[in-house]
Amino acid sequence: MQFTINRSAFIKALNDVSRAISSRTTIPILTNIKLVLNDEELVLTGSNADISIETTVPQSDTSAQLIITTPGGITLPATFFINIVKRLPDDAMTLNVEGLRATITSGASSFTINGQDVQNYPQLPEMDDVQSLSVSAAQLVDIISQTKISASTQESRPILTGIHLQLTGNSVKAVTTDSHRLSQRIVQLTGTDANNVDANVIIPAKSFNELQALLEGQDRVEIKFSTNQAVFDLGHTTFYSRLLEGNYPETDRLIPTESTTQITIEASSLLGAIDRASLLSHESRNNVVQLSLKAGRAVLTGTSQEVGQVTEKLNANSIEGEDLDISFNPDYVRDALRIFNGKRVDVKFTSNLRPFTLTPEGETDNKQLQLITPVRTF
């Protein structure tokens, strides 16, 4: 196996597939990158068993300047190989493989490293009973960014570490919850005919984190769902993710249908106030701030017995309903507000012990909703 390639183009391809590679794997060969060269293209693959990324560098891509000398394949230690390529002196590099030994040359530099046989590398998942649809990459980024914050990071309940997607016709509903907060986004897909798609899947939020980085600069994405896999086709790059097994909790019943108190405020204004209040709350054991809504006034308080207290009157656009004192984790609300930054939000409460919601001002259909469970402080 031998080829010469533009180093910058090769580094981009290596960076893309390396997103799927983890040093913490029970399958040692998955710490390697798989390279397969045929008469027309170079194919790179990275995997950690949960996600796999395959990217293709075609000879027809003039920016890659790929010159194919001898087809073949090898797997090479990912971290070591990528670090070598990034530090090579010239714009071009050559990889020459003899047996299981690879020689990398660029300018006056030459490295020789040992690899493993591509036949020992696990095959990419096979797809069966496939449903497929094409979606806007921008809409997919919107769905991911507005829901991933509430996915659990605790493996004790694996189902909650995923994003629950329900696709019906041209509508997709995405929900995450870690039992302390909930994020929901409902989108009507544009420029696609998905009337035959009826899918109910749970994709790990970690998978979506890596996918989101690959979506930058993309126009449309072809998505395929099978029994236990989701595949996202981005042109020269294909992203595979396993699906989580099990039934996602029924989250609709968690969302309040009415409220007794509501404050409407600029998201950026409330975010700034919570940032300041959390300077004190982060110094206390329970990391809680208090919001008091009384007589048309809104006051936010952060307290630390060791450090002191901060109090700030909020510049709300409107305050309606019953008086209320409520406590909550400022980090949860801050994460939610960053999603709405640049917008005015309605924050709706039912009582100081019931979950409250944040939605864009005037929105009543819960298409863009964040829900936070308060903290009992008495």
User: What are the tens digits of pLDDT across the range 80-93?
Assistant: 999 999 999 999 99
* Under 8 Å between Cβ of 90 and 48: no
CATH number at residue 155: 3.10.150.10
Q: Is residue 61 part of a domain?
A: yes
Of 90, 120, 150, the one marking the end of a domain is: 120
Predicted pLDDT at 283: 81
Using one digit for the tens of pLDDT, what is the confidence trace for 34-84?
A: 999 999 999 999 999 899 999 999 999 999 999 999 999 999 999 999 999
Does the residue 378 lie in any domain?
no
CA separation for the pair 49, 335 (Å, rounded) = 30
Number of domain units in the chain: 3
CB 300 within 8 A of CB 277: yes
pLDDT at 217: 87
- pLDDT of 194 above 60: no
Mean pLDDT of the chain: 93
For tokens 């998955």, name the residue. 30
Q: In angstroms, rounded to a whole number, what is the distance separating the alpha carbons of residues 92 and 65?
A: 9
Domain contains 158? yes
- If asked whether residues 260 and 357 sit together in one domain, one would say yes
Does 186 fall in a domain?
A: yes
Give the pLDDT confidence score for residue 195 in this predicted structure: 58
Answer yes or no: do 52 and 85 share one domain: yes
Contact 265, 339 (CB under 8 A): no
Q: Are residues 228 and 169 in the same domain?
A: yes
Axis crossing angle, helix 137-147 with helix 205-214, rounded to the nearest 10: 140
Among residues 120, 152, 186, the one where a domain terminates is 120
Number of Cβ within 10 Å of residue 24's Cβ equals: 6
Per-residue pLDDT for 377 more than 80? no
CA angle, 127 then 124 then 212, to 5°: 85
126 domain-assigned: no
Residue 156, amino acid: S
Partners of residue 56 on adjacent β-strands: 43
Q: Are 116 and 181 in a shared domain? A: no
* pLDDT on residue 286: 80
Neighbours of 193 (CB within 10 A): 11
Residue 249 covered by a domain: no
Whether the Cβ atoms of residue 342 and residue 255 lie closer than 8 Å to each other: no
Residue 31 CB contacts under 8 Å (≥ 6 apart), including other chains: 21, 22, 23, 25, 77, 78, 79
pLDDT of amino acid 196: 67
Task: Look up the CATH number of the domain holding residue 335.
Answer: 3.70.10.10
Beta-strand pair 324-328/318-321 = unpaired
Strands (E), 162-317: 162-168, 171-177, 181-188, 198-204, 220-225, 229-233, 237-242, 261-266, 289-294, 297-304, 308-313
Instruction: Clarify whether residues 191 and 271 are in a common domain.
Output: no
Task: Identify the domain containing residue 302 by its residue range.
Answer: 255-372
Q: Residue 146 belongs to what H/E stretch?
A: helix 137-147
Same domain, 186 and 213: yes
SS3 13: helix
Q: How far is CA 217 from CA 57, 161, 237, in A?
A: 17, 27, 13
Please tell me the total number of residues recorded for the chain in this structure: 378
- The 10s digit of each residue's pLDDT in 176-187 is 999 999 999 999
Same domain, 312 and 368: yes
For residue 24, being part of any structural domain is answered with yes
Examine the domain organization and report whether 10 and 111 are in the same domain.
yes
State percent of the chain over pLDDT 70: 98
Cβ pair 354, 368 in contact under 8 A: no
Rounded to the nearest angstrom, the gap between the alpha carbon of residue 190 and the centroid of all alpha carbons in its chain is 21
Query: pLDDT, tens digit, for every residue of 110-128?
Result: 999 999 999 999 999 888 7
Distances in whole angstroms, Cα of residue 335 to Cα of each of 159, 338, 344: 21, 5, 15
Q: pLDDT value at position 227?
A: 85
Flag whether pLDDT at 192 surpasses 80: no
Q: Are residues 280 and 359 in the same domain?
A: yes
Asked whether residue 71 is assigned to any structural domain, the reply reads yes
Last residue of a domain, one of 242, 270, 304: 242
Q: Is 35 in the same domain as 104?
A: yes
Do both 268 and 352 map to the same domain? Answer: yes
* In contact, 132 and 195? CB cutoff 8 Å: no
The answer, yes or no, to whether residue 30 has pLDDT greater than 80, is: yes
For 272-315, give the DSSP string: HHHHHHHHHHTTSSS--EEEEEETTEEEEEEEETTTEEEEEE--
User: Do 115 and 91 share a structural domain?
Assistant: yes
Question: In whole angstroms, what is the distance from residue 37 CA to residue 41 CA?
Answer: 6
Specify the 3-state DSSP secondary structure of 177: strand
